[in-house]
Amino acid sequence: MTDDDSVTSMCSLSQAFARDKYAVYRSCLKDPQLTLLYRYACKRADSGTMNSDPRSPGAWAAPGDVFMDGLLVDLLPLAEDVSGLKLFPTYSYFRVYRPGDILVKHRDRPSCEITFTLCLGYQAERPWPLLLECPAGIASIELEPGDGLFYRGTEWTHWREPMEGELAAQAFLHYVDQNGRYAEWKYDKREGLPFDRPGAQSHPSERRKG
């Protein structure tokens, strides 16, 4: 892809987000980072260090993982380009789903004003759709490994029907508009992100579940 192609692609994404309130970024994450994160997510799920989540009964879930927080910061400029907003990161989250798991129909809390959800990988015959209720109707979004979806989780109801595959790993990166109604949720009302990365403050703050 040339520089001109990249600019065109980013313009298309930002236009889609402005029009539809969501936008799909294909092949956002690539190998080796993608495979490493997928393997890590699977190993973390097998380690017994993750929690259950009432919004997805049976799935393993974890907030504030250091590798997912790294993505949260690294992809902040991309989230700003797509949304057309100056953003604060709030928190990261990831789940590892198993056969029959669902995502209950819901809207997100204020710290998830702008969400970028990334498919890290799956074991199934086809992608597991995320259903998004937006102005144009119900959109069924299928993400291949490395694909990401930007959406306004506080505005649009979203859910998943029971998963038919064996496993799926998904990361969630949450942001708020620096000049918007939810700006107070910067860092999810923590002092800062709990590690030292470019663009993030380093504080010994306690992690909170989202």
Pair 37, 75: CB distance under 8 Å: no
> Which residues are 137's β-sheet partners?
134
Pair 169, 157: CB distance under 8 Å: no
203 part of a folded domain? no
Cα–Cα distance measured from residue 155 to residue 134, given in angstroms and rounded to the nearest whole number: 8
pLDDT tens string 85-141: 999 999 999 999 999 999 999 999 999 999 999 999 999 999 999 999 988 889 999
Instruction: Work out the number of other CB atoms within 10 angstroms of the CB of residue 157.
Output: 14
CATH number for the domain that contains residue 44: 2.60.120.620
Q: Looking at per-residue confidence, does 5 or 194 come out higher?
A: 194
Pair 154, 182: CB distance under 8 Å: yes
201 part of a folded domain? no
Q: Which domain holds residue 93?
A: 3-189
* Mean confidence (pLDDT) of the chain: 89
Q: How many domains does the chain have?
A: 1
Torsion angle in degrees (nearest 10) through CA of 146, 150, 153, 154 = 150
Q: Phi and psi (nearest 5°) for 171?
A: -105, 145
196 part of a folded domain? no
* End-to-end Cα distance, the chain: 37
pLDDT (average), residues 184-188: 97
Q: What percent of the chain has pLDDT over 90?
A: 78
198 part of a folded domain? no
206 part of a folded domain? no
Element (H, E) at 150: strand 148-151
13 part of a folded domain? yes
pTM of the model: 0.88
135 part of a folded domain? yes
Q: Looking at per-residue confidence, does 11 or 207 come out higher?
A: 11
199 part of a folded domain? no
pLDDT of 203 strictly over 80: no
pLDDT of 80 strictly over 90: yes
pLDDT of residue 196: 56
pLDDT of residue 177: 98
pLDDT of 181 strictly over 80: yes
